[in-house]
Amino acid sequence: MAWRGLAQRGWCCGQAWAPPAGGRSCEELTAALGQPRLLGRRFNVFIQQKCGFRKAPRKVEPRRSDTGTSSEAYKRSALIPPVEETAFYPSPYPIRTLVKPLLFTVGFTGCAFGSAAIWQYESLKSRVQSYFDGIKADWLDSIRPQKEGDFRKEINKWWNNLSDGQRTVTGIIAANVFVFCLWRVPSLQRTMIRYFTSSPASKVLCSPMLLSTFSHFSLFHMAANMYVLWSFSSSIVNILGQEQFMAVYLSAGVISNFVSYVCKVATGRYGPSLGASGAIMTVLAAVCTKIPEGRLAIIFLPMFTFTAGNALKAIIAVDTAGMILGWKFFDHAAHLGGALFGIWYITYGHELIWKNREPLVKIWHEMRTNGPKKGGGSK
């Protein structure tokens, strides 16, 4: 038999074997036990134990990602949460992964500016009514006995002392603080990594392009971004207006993330990104392009001032070098994409997009004025 031939050649139970001195050979054990096929799997175990052989335990090697990079590749800086390597699965056809983000970027940008145009129309329409309501409220306050130490009154006083730009970005800052607090909830870590960090290798491609704009893992990262946004809020809202600014800011977050996607696919570095830096770079670049002679200073070095135009040139140079050289502390591609979008919008985009919103506003006006005809009958 085939099994006996293996035993004669010195093989027993699938293992190389030599008879121990003074012991019984595997062939003798086989003859004593009879036909091995009658015992099946139990026979193999019995012979393996009797011959003194035990299969060594198999070492479990850690799973590697498809890209072959270690988990340290995703821990780019302290600004990014520690992400497991199995959280991202790069596509074997990376160019195809950019189709959906491109369509989302174009569609979201169009919806953002269309909504902003309608928002502005509704705001202008309600200003007259708000004016008369304000007069009535002031008259009631003058005849109503005032309460000392009224907390609500102090809040209203503080709110009214803010500029239009500061009131506009207050909601953005509050949203960033709320998402930052969500990062501190351990049970939400998987959800936060899935939806609030952007990567072209993630299973969810489109929604993180917007949600990651409000996401910060590091307190220093969030504080720095929100300080810059607060500092430039008055200037950018005076230039664009509240409604147009919101459209530009949200679109800039999505566009800067798409530029980051393109760079990651081109270089094969699929680490996650998060933060409002891309959108804030758009705000910074727009203000510096519109007011290039304005004087700026660093918060920790207020004695050194420089023009806004020179600051913008330096920022673009640093981000370009970082993108080419592969610096990993910041997402330089997102920064550069946001800055270029801000320059383009102030130079050309305002005329091409915002100045051509009249057809949409007229359609909305007709819908609001006429409305559905009563009776529902046709003539």
Task: Catalytic residue, from 277, 332, 350, 365: name it.
Answer: 277
Residue type for 248, please? V
The question of whether 216 is a catalytic residue gets the answer: no
DSSP code of 348? I
Task: Catalytic residue, from 216, 221, 332, 335: name it.
Answer: 335
Q: State how far the Cα of 196 lies from the Cα of 208, in Å rounded to an integer.
A: 5
The question of whether 335 is a catalytic residue gets the answer: yes
The answer to whether 210 and 253 are in contact (CB under 8 A) is: yes
Alpha-helical segments (H) within the chain: 2-8, 26-33, 41-50, 99-143, 151-161, 164-182, 189-195, 207-211, 219-240, 242-267, 277-290, 308-325, 332-344, 350-352, 358-370
Q: State how far the Cα of 324 lies from the Cα of 237, in Å rounded to an integer.
A: 33
Alpha-carbon distances of 172 from 103, 226, 230, 253, rounded to whole Å: 25, 9, 10, 12
Backbone angles phi and psi of 114, in degrees to 5: -65, -45
Nearest to 214 by CA among 178, 184, 245: 178
Q: How many CB atoms neighbour CB 7 within 10 A? A: 22
**Which residues are marked as active site?**
277, 335
